[in-house]
């Protein structure tokens, strides 16, 4: 009688062979190289954007009235180039990326995530900033990152689940991480705002892309905190009252902004102005530029550009700012958006939120102004995008302040709840639905 030997678990041959698979290692190397490319592209975009803003500041130093001529001409020129040659480059870039995840037609996805459109997005956004537009580079970086990783499939063959959505989600998350130097926020943004789920098969891909892109950006720019460090935190009853007021204000204003943007994108403008927009879009962009210049003059030049310097100055307490800065910035960002130029809403929203927090702090004179400015940034951003986890994580990382976790969570949840009463549809999802419907209509036609 033979003794039965216990059967040892076998290592699958394909797992063992994968360690020595040239094709698998080639795929990994191409992917890692693509993630490095996202980090370097985000860094180059940031540096070019800074130079563009400096150029506009030199223009303001010559005369604060020059934007009345330069801004309309710039917005009209950028809008004309975008509509004629790069239609997929208009707007933030995040809705287009989300729409690409849901496009069944490969040609439509290829068009919106082409390298040509990604390059145009970067160049035209910088030109818009040089003309004084209230736009940011972070949203466009999401589309650029998604385009770079998505186009890796032309070099090597990836599994179908990566080619259809994994590379796009990973590229978008890597873009956020590299743009803000916030790796955790990059992961959270990709899950909460883009994928709306966390699939096991793509989780490693996403984390790898975010880490590598972030390291590449840090290698060039150094390890920095986007808005600088602040130890501010709420303590007394007055401070927590300010937190609640920021949550309410951020939800109302952010939800109102999103509702106005969605209404404009869906229906346009009423009356003769709507007819003018449909028949003369380039002239309408010039009109938007003129209104933006008037807002700039009225605000003392504070509303131009992404608002990064203004938000940082408020946070550090190094500059005096009007209590109405937040409202001015919201109006300038809306005007820039409806002009049809490329440019994101991330940084302008954070800057407007800093202005809202500053106004609440002045209303409650006994509170820690720095704490409420941080809260205002998170709550208005949460009110606009209705992504509370992304909002509090990104602001926490950008200000290097982990003591604010609880008040940030509370305030962003409150702002999101209030925003949903004002605007039931999340902004980026609604814009993605509109963009996708237009693509389908054009394809069927």
Q: What is the pLDDT of residues 363-386, one digit of tens each?
A: 887 667 778 888 999 999 999 998
- What pLDDT, on the 0 to 100 scale, is given for residue 81? 94
128 pLDDT band (50/70/90 cuts)?
Answer: very high
pTM, two decimals, is 0.85
Residue range 94-99: average pLDDT?
88
Instruction: Give the span between the Cα atoms of 374 and 355, in whole angstroms.
Output: 10
Cβ contacts of 226 within 8 Å, gap of 6 or more:
180, 181, 182, 397, 398, 399
Instruction: Give the span between the Cα atoms of 113 and 169, in whole angstroms.
Output: 12
Length in residues, the chain: 445
Q: What is the pLDDT of residues 257-310, one digit of tens each?
A: 999 999 998 888 888 888 888 889 999 999 999 999 999 999 888 899 888 888
Class of residue 379 by CB neighbours under 10 A (exposed 0-12, middle 13-18, buried 19+)? buried
Domain positions in the chain are 29-221, 237-433
Instruction: Give the span between the Cα atoms of 411 and 396, in whole angstroms.
Output: 13
- What pLDDT, on the 0 to 100 scale, is given for residue 17? 46
- What pLDDT, on the 0 to 100 scale, is given for residue 11? 46
Instruction: Give the span between the Cα atoms of 97 and 90, in whole angstroms.
Output: 12
Instruction: Give the span between the Cα atoms of 363 and 229, in whole angstroms.
Output: 24
**Among the CATH numbers 1.10.3080.10, 3.90.1150.10, 3.40.640.10, 1.25.10.10, which is that of 237-433?**
1.10.3080.10
Could you please report the per-residue DSSP string of 285-353? HHHHHHHHHHHHHHTTTTTSSS-HHHHHHHHHT-S---TTHHHHHHHHHHHHHHTT-B-BSHHHHHHHH
Instruction: Give the span between the Cα atoms of 159 and 356, in whole angstroms.
Output: 46
Least confident range of 12-21, 214-223, 282-291, 359-368? 12-21
195 pLDDT band (50/70/90 cuts)?
Answer: low
pLDDT at residue 201 tops 60: no
Cα distances from 315 to residues 200, 229, 271, 403, 405, in angstroms, run 39, 9, 42, 16, 17
Q: What is the pLDDT of residues 164-188, one digit of tens each?
A: 677 777 778 777 777 766 666 666 7
192 pLDDT band (50/70/90 cuts)?
Answer: low
pLDDT at residue 250 tops 60: yes
Written as six digits, the tokens of 228 are: 């600088």
Q: Go through 35-74 and write b for each residue having 16 or more CB atoms within 10 A of its CB, e for each that does not.
A: bbbbbbbbbebbebbbebbeebeebbeeeeeebbebbbeb
**Which fold is adopted by the domain 29-221?**
Clc chloride channel (1.10.3080)
């Amino acid at each position: 009688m033979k003794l039965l030997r216990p059967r040892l678990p076998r290592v699958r041959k394909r797992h063992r062979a994968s360690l020595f698979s040239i094709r698998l290692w080639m795929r990994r190397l191409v992917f890692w190289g693509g993630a490095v490319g996202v980090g370097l592209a985000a860094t180059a975009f940031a540096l070019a954007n800074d130079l563009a803003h400096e150029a506009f500041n030199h223009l303001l130093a010559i005369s604060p009235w020059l934007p009345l001529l330069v801004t309309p001409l710039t917005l009209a020129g950028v809008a004309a180039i975008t509509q004629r040659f790069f239609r997929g480059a208009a707007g933030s870039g995040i809705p287009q990326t989300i729409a690409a995840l849901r496009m069944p037609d490969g040609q439509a996805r290829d068009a919106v995530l082409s390298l040509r459109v990604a390059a145009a997005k970067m160049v035209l956004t910088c030109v818009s900033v040089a003309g004084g537009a209230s736009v940011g580079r972070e949203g466009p970086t999401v589309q650029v990152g998604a385009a770079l990783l998505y186009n890796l499939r032309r070099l090597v063959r990836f599994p179908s689940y990566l080619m259809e959505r994994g590379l796009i989600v990973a590229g978008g998350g890597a873009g956020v991480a590299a743009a803000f130097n916030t790796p955790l926020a990059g992961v959270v943004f990709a899950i909460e705002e883009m994928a709306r789920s966390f699939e096991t098969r793509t989780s490693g891909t996403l984390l790898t892309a975010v880490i590598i892109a972030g390291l590449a950006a840090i290698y060039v720019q150094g390890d920095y905190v986007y808005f600088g460090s602040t130890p501010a935190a709420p303590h007394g009853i007055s401070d927590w009252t300010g937190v609640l007021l920021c949550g309410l204000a951020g939800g109302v204003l952010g939800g109102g902004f999103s509702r106005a943007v969605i209404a404009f994108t869906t229906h346009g403008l009423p009356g003769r102005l709507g007819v003018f927009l449909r028949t003369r879009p380039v002239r309408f962009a010039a009109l938007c530029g003129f209104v933006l210049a008037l807002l700039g003059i009225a605000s003392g030049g504070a509303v131009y550009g992404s608002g990064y310097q203004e938000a940082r100055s408020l946070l550090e307490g190094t500059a005096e700012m009007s209590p109405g800065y937040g409202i001015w910035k919201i109006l300038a960002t809306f005007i820039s958006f409806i002009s049809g130029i490329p440019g994101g809403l991330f940084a302008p929203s954070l800057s407007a939120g800093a202005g809202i927090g500053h106004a609440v702090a002045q209303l409650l004179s006994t509170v820690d102004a720095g704490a409420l400015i941080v809260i205002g940034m998170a709550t208005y951003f949460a009110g606009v995008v209705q992504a509370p986890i992304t909002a509090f994580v990104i602001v926490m990382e950008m200000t290097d302040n982990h003591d604010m976790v609880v008040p940030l969570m509370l305030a962003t949840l409150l702002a999101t709840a209030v925003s949903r009463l004002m605007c039931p549809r999340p902004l980026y999802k609604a814009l993605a639905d509109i963009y996708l419907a237009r693509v389908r209509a054009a394809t069927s036609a």
